[in-house]
Structure 1
Amino acid sequence: MAKIVILGAGLGGLVAAFEIRKTLDRKHEVAVISESDYYQFVPSNPWVLVGWRDREEITIDLAKPLRKRGIELIVGKAEKVDPPAKCVHMPDGSKVDYDYLVIATGPELAYDEIEGVGPSAHTQSVCHIDHAEDAAKAFEAFCEKPGPMVIGATQGASCFGPAYETAMIIETELRKRKIRDRVPITFVTPEPYIGHLGLDGVGDTKGLLESEMRDRHIKWVTNARIVRAEAGKVIAEEVNDDGSVKETHEIASDYSMFLPPFRGVAAVRDVEGLSNPRGFILTDEHQQNPTYPEIFGIGVCIAIPPVGKTPVPVGVPKTGFMIESMVEATARNIAQMIKGEKPDHRASWNAVCLADFGDGGVAFIAQPQIPPRNVNWSASGGWVHLAKVGFEKYFLHKLRTGQSETFYENAALSLLKTHKLKGVERG
């Protein structure tokens, strides 16, 4: 009998728990370590910010669906992963032993690396439901006394879609409230161009997103490095291709939201052979750690080299479709290892994304996610917003009822069928 422990209960961790439970014989134990006793659907947080969703609508109590699947839930923040001892140390002095460990912690939000950035300082966030709720309160106060606004991502961020979504959703809500004319909006990003997304663009995301911003009268600054945020303003350096400062922008802002730099969580940082200097988990093509083959990494917490050199550090996003392919490969590789076989399953690392803009949006497919690609497609329209709403409801319903399936893959295949795209493989 083997014990498989999943560290983290976000998208990757939760789907991994379901998939591993489904793949393995019931005589094997599956346990999840989670900081909280609930799951939050992070993609909906921009909607929380503008009041279109509340906490209850996008969170799920973990106990019931996990118990239904025969998965143990351990609530607590892991203190340190101890690979030589094959255990996870907990803050109360206890430890959780494992035969196989799947690390799916997501990132630590490194607000402390940039002066004045973060919910406890001068900028808002949509990275956590708690942050989104605070951002919603601040947004309501802002709407009572509108002024300039700055939205974007900092240097070292590894996810850019939510920044674009937040800017567009806020813009849509401001128009609904008839105060858009009183709110100048500036989008600030380390990307070398609008629509880069950490992927060197997908299809015509550059043209689609630039057009969307022009239509919505949103100004932008690319190749930007945030120096600091203060009450009432953001200071950013726009850099040249060689990294030298082209211009320093001092942008007035009565409401700011930035996606922060990402790093690995403290429980895995500085563990020799397990993580890189930023704390991201080192994995091979089978999602295995090269030093500790009984440890697997999936999702945002793993180390992926940048798509290419950029003047300002730009991380690579790990999308839901891509994460699910990591989960499927990991579950099957663990099953092989338990049987004494050599693991040979690999993740496809394809991307299918829906970026909601409140009353429209942009969808794109990248196969594989890292270029060069076999499929490189993007499109925009009101259907994207409807598709995102539909997926949210479908995903949360399936989780609440404890059903195990590849959520993003099913949604993606439906999207592909709708648009009659050819040559796109299953995730």
Structure 2
Amino acid sequence: MAHIVILGGGVAGVSAAYEVREALGKAHKVTVVSKAPYFQFTPSNPWVAVKWRTKDDITVDLASTLPRHGVDFVHASAEKVLPEENKVELSTGGPIEYDYLIIATGPELAFDEIEGLGPEGFTSSVCDVEHAVKGASKWEDFCANPAPIVVGAVQGASCYGPAYEFAMIMDTDLRKRKIRDKVPMTFVTAEPYVGHLGLGGVGDTKGLLESEMRERHIRWITNAKVDKVEDGKMTVSEHDEDGKVKKAHELPFGYSMMLPAFRGIPAVRDVEGLVNPRGFVIVDKHQRNPKYPNVFGAGVCIAIAPLEATPVPVGVPKTGYMIESMVTAIAQNLKEIVAGKDPTHEGTWNAICLADFGDGGVVFIAEPQNPPRNVNWSSSGKWVHLAKIAFEKYFLRKIRKGTTEPYYEKIVMQTLNIGGKLKSK
């Protein structure tokens, strides 16, 4: 009997648990270790931050859910991964031993790299549901006393969709409250242009997102480096194409949400051969670490090189559809490995994203994620907002029911078909 330990209880971790359980059968043991006692549907965090959702709406208790589907659960933080010894030291005291390890922890949020950034400083976050809940209370206070907003993503960030989403969702909520006219809004991003997304743009994301922000009267600053954040003020350096500072900005704000840069979690950082200098897990085309072949990586925690050099550092996103394909590849490769065969499965690493804007949205497909691409398409419309709501519902159902059905592929493609028909009428 093999023991497969999965670090992380998010989209990658829980999906991996279900797929590995199905692929290997009951003869093998699967254990999920998570520092959070619940699964959270991270794409809904922007809704939580404006109180369109609650924490309970988008979370699933892991201790009562995973065992029903043949997966053991340990509520603990991974303190140190020891791949030479095939074990992980846990915050609860003793180590957990494994035959195969899947690292699916997501990232550590590097708020400390910029003075004053983050929930412990002066900006909010939608990267974690607890941050979104905290931001929601600030949002209500802000709406009682409207002032300027600064929103976006700092240098080194590798996930830009939620920044655009939250800017538009705030705009929509403020208009519903009839106070949008009292709130100047500035979008600050390390991207070289609006709609770059860490992907060099997808279809006409540049034109679509610029148009959306013009229509909503959102000013933007690109090639931006956040120098520091103080109470009510953000200092930003805007760079030219050669990476030289061309203008300094001091942006006042009454509310700010800035996505941070990511890095690998402390438990894997500095493990030579396992991670890159930033702490992200190194994997080959089979999602397997080259030095430690019984260690796999999936999701935001893995290392992917930046697409291109940019004036201000820009990371590469890992979208849900891509993560789902990584997980499937790992499960099928483990099935082959425990049977004494070589792994043959590879993730597709395509990108599909539904970005909700509160009363509309933008969708894009990049196949493969990095150009040149076989599919390079984007579109917009109110149907995207409805599709995102449906997708949230179905994915949470997947987690509760323990199904391995590929919802990112199935539901997203169905909604794209519906959207295409609606736009053609």
TM > 0.5: yes
- 8 Å CA contact retained: 2:76, 2:92: no
Q: Does 1:350 align with 2:360?
A: no
Letter of the aligned partner of 1:130 in structure 2?
E
Matches within 5 A, 1:72-87: 72-87=72-87
Closer, same or farther in 2 for the Cα pair 1:420/1:168, shift >3 Å?
closer
Aligned residue in 1 for 2:5: 5
Q: CA deviation at 1:65?
A: 2.5
* Counterpart-to-counterpart distance in 2, 1:418 and 1:256: 35
CA RMSD of aligned residues (A): 1.1
How many corresponding residue pairs? 421
Letter of the aligned partner of 1:33 in structure 2?
V
Q: CA deviation at 1:252?
A: 1.1
* Counterpart-to-counterpart distance in 1, 2:272 and 2:93: 22
Closer, same or farther in 2 for the Cα pair 1:420/1:234, shift >3 Å?
closer
The TM-score with structure 1 as length reference comes to 0.97
Aligned residue in 1 for 2:226: 226
Q: CA deviation at 1:416?
A: 4.2
Aligned residue in 2 for 1:139: 139
The TM-score with structure 2 as length reference comes to 0.98
Letter of the aligned partner of 2:44 in structure 1?
S
* Counterpart-to-counterpart distance in 2, 1:68 and 1:3: 18
Aligned residue in 1 for 2:330: 330
Q: CA deviation at 1:413?
A: 2.6
Matches within 5 A, 1:187-202: 187-202=187-202
* Counterpart-to-counterpart distance in 2, 1:179 and 1:93: 52
- 8 Å CA contact retained: 2:55, 2:129: yes
Aligned residue in 1 for 2:172: 172
Q: CA deviation at 1:419?
A: 5.3
Letter of the aligned partner of 1:260 in structure 2?
P
* Counterpart-to-counterpart distance in 2, 1:66 and 1:33: 11
Unaligned runs of 5+ in 1: 422-427
Task: Report SS of the residue matched to 1:39.
Answer: strand
Matches within 5 A, 1:234-313: 234-313=234-313
Structure 1 runs of 4+ off > 4 angstroms? none
* Counterpart-to-counterpart distance in 2, 1:398 and 1:285: 27
Letter of the aligned partner of 2:270 in structure 1?
D
Cα deviation, 1:304-353, whole Å, max 9, x if unaligned, reads 00111111111100000000000011111111111111111111011111
Aligned residue in 2 for 1:99: 99
Higher mean Cα deviation, 395-404 or 49-58?
395-404
Higher mean Cα deviation, 78-87 or 58-67?
58-67
Aligned residue in 2 for 1:157: 157
* Counterpart-to-counterpart distance in 2, 1:280 and 1:160: 18
Aligned residue in 2 for 1:424: none
Task: Report SS of the residue matched to 1:418.
Answer: helix
Task: Report SS of the residue matched to 1:265.
Answer: coil
Cα deviation, 1:385-414, whole Å, max 9, x if unaligned, reads 000001101111221222222120111231
* Counterpart-to-counterpart distance in 1, 2:103 and 2:54: 29
Task: Report SS of the residue matched to 1:79.
Answer: strand
**Identity across matched positions, percent:** 60
Aligned residue in 2 for 1:417: 417
Cα deviation, 1:355-392, whole Å, max 9, x if unaligned, reads 00000000011101111100000000000000000110
* Counterpart-to-counterpart distance in 2, 1:416 and 1:253: 37
* Counterpart-to-counterpart distance in 2, 1:416 and 1:121: 39
* Counterpart-to-counterpart distance in 2, 1:71 and 1:315: 33
Letter of the aligned partner of 1:182 in structure 2?
K
Letter of the aligned partner of 1:337 in structure 2?
I
Aligned residue in 1 for 2:70: 70
Higher mean Cα deviation, 62-71 or 233-242?
62-71
